Amino acid sequence: MSDAEHDPDALARRCAAVMYEADAASQGLGMEIVDVAAGRATVRMAVTARMLNGHGIGHGGYTFMLADSAFAFACNGYDVATVAASCDIVFVSPTRAGDVLEATAVERHRTSRRGVYDVTVVRVSGDTPRDVVAEFRGVSRSTREPVLDRTPIRAHTDEGTPTP
């Protein structure tokens, strides 16, 4: 085996790349993976005018999705498919169109089947850069299936037709 095969950060990056390739939701919102390591991930997304709510500020659901994506990339980096068992979020400050947000997920505790991850979402552009906009906590549950070398769950096209 090569050194890369023993490197947990390299494994985490491979798992994130495979997941992102099949992740229509994250791609559709323009999310990009900034960094991934074992038990950690940082994901960036720009807030667009289409993401604003009736108050003219960023809809919290988009901030939640960004945090949830960072959480997913962090907890799936061990080549064990892992899903959210529970999550909650505290919105600290509003987002606005044009803001670029970055969510950093950090593993706090992990057993063979469960993990606890904290995600901090910050504004990295706009009037107040590095301003915390949300704090998220996710609890993960492993499915015991691999992330790499597995048959992906059937995706749907925009027309709603399942793809093979």
C-beta of residue 77 within 8 angstroms of C-beta of residue 11: yes
Q: pLDDT, tens digit, for every residue of 129-159?
A: 789 999 999 999 999 899 998 655 555 455 5
Q: Is residue 137 part of a domain?
A: yes
Residue 157 lies in a domain: no
Residue 106 falls within a domain, yes or no?
yes
- In a domain, residue 117? The reply is yes
Task: Please give the tally of structural domains in the chain.
Answer: 1
- CATH for 55: 3.10.129.10
Distance, in Å, from the CA atom of 155 to the CA atom of 160, rounded to the nearest integer, reads 9
Average pLDDT over the chain, rounded to whole?
90
CA separation for the pair 123, 55 (Å, rounded) = 19
pLDDT for position 150: 66
Could you tell me the residue range of the domain that residue 41 belongs to? 3-142
In whole angstroms, give the CA distance from residue 106 to residue 124: 18
Strands 131-142 and 82-91: antiparallel
Residue 88 covered by a domain: yes
What percent of the chain clears pLDDT 90, i.e. is strictly above it?
82
Greatest C-alpha distance within the chain: 55
Report yes or no on 136 lying in a domain: yes
Report pTM: 0.87
77-120 pLDDT tens trace: 999 999 999 999 999 999 999 999 999 999 999 998 999 999 99
Write out pLDDT tens, residues 67-89. Answer: 999 999 999 999 999 999 999 99
For residue 40, is it within any domain?
yes
Contact residues for 76 (Cβ-Cβ < 8 A; gap 6+): 15, 16, 19, 82, 147
Using one digit for the tens of pLDDT, what is the confidence trace for 3-34? 456 899 999 999 999 999 999 999 999 999 99
Asked if residue 164 has pLDDT above 50, the reply is no
Q: Is residue 95 part of a domain?
A: yes
Closest CA to 135 of 94, 103, 100, 96: 103
Question: What is the percent of the chain where pLDDT is above 70?
Answer: 85
Q: Which amino acid is at 83?
A: V
CB 77 within 8 A of CB 140: no
